[in-house]
Amino acid sequence: MGSTKLISLLKILCMSFISRKQKVKSVLLAFLASFLLIQVYRPEIPYQPTSKGDIDVPKDVKAILKRSCYDCHSNQTNLKWFDQVAPAYWLVADHVRQGKAGLNFSEWDQLPVAAQKAKLWELFNQIKLGAMPIKSYELMHPNAKLSGKDIDVIKNYISSLAPKQAPDSAKIAVFEKQYKECTLKRKHQGKISRSP
């Protein structure tokens, strides 16, 4: 191979290398540009630092709800920086919108008491089934994961709201007492007819 041929071959190699590098560069630039462009679309997530209508529960229960649920189920959404970057942000914003539509701890006082109780049981079921907090959220926010102890705290609180029912044995004792008194009275009045 002559030296002129070798040089021209090197030239061609060099050219193709440069153009490949440029191609990669332009693809990266296109990515960057579209990444920056999509940041422009930001559905709003309203934030209120405090709320009068907030759910009134014991401190330990509230701490759990705040840590695991408030980002999507209250007016106090507190997003991490990585939640704020589109396209992740779009998913989060949609979760917050849907989550708040079904359950908003910041507007708890707007629910009638019976509905509050029903929501609490529903909430407990969602937790127990592992449906809430949403798995993808839990993955990015390990702090939101509920431990067995957290679930017990919530369960104990909700059970404490149920009206205390007398156990059946107590009901039976009352019934027997009334029955005895009644038959005694009737005996006195001589109205009990003995079976032959």
- Residue 43 in contact with residue 90, Cβ under 8 Å? yes
Question: Interface with ligand HEC includes 132 (CB under 6 A)?
Answer: yes
Could you say which of 16, 98, 110, 178 contacts ligand HEC (CB under 6 A)? 98
Question: Interface with ligand HEC includes 102 (CB under 6 A)?
Answer: yes
What is the nearest approach in angstroms of ligand HEC to the Cβ of residue 46?
Answer: 16
What is the nearest approach in angstroms of ligand HEC to the Cβ of residue 41?
Answer: 20
- Residue 127 in contact with residue 155, Cβ under 8 Å? no
Annotate each residue in 146-165 with x if it binds ligand HEC (CB under 6 A) or - if it does not, as one string. x-------------------
Residue 34, both tokens: 């579209």
Could you say which of 57, 104, 108, 133 contacts ligand HEC (CB under 6 A)? 133
- In the complex with ligand HEC, the residue whose CB is nearer, 1 or 101, is 101
- Residue 153 in contact with residue 61, Cβ under 8 Å? yes
What is the nearest approach in angstroms of ligand HEC to the Cβ of residue 55?
Answer: 11
- In the complex with ligand HEC, the residue whose CB is nearer, 109 or 122, is 122
Question: Interface with ligand HEC includes 71 (CB under 6 A)?
Answer: yes
- Residue 51 in contact with residue 76, Cβ under 8 Å? yes
Question: Interface with ligand HEC includes 72 (CB under 6 A)?
Answer: yes
Query: Which of 156, 149, 131 minimizes the C-alpha distance to 69?
Result: 131
Q: Which of residues 16-45 bind ligand HEC (CB under 6 A)?
A: none
In degrees and rounded to multiples of 5, residue 122 shows phi and psi of -60, -45
The residue with tokens 């039976």 is: 172
Could you say which of 126, 145, 151, 153 contacts ligand HEC (CB under 6 A)? 126
Query: Which of 51, 50, 55, 53 minimizes the C-alpha distance to 65?
Result: 55
What is the nearest approach in angstroms of ligand HEC to the Cβ of residue 101?
Answer: 7
DSSP annotation of 110 reads: G
**Distance from C-alpha of 134 to C-alpha of 126, rounded to nearest angstrom:** 10
Query: Which of 64, 124, 56, 69 minimizes the C-alpha distance to 96?
Result: 69
Q: Which residues bind ligand HEC (CB under 6 A)?
A: 68-69, 71-73, 95, 98-99, 102-103, 122-123, 126-127, 132-134, 137, 144, 146
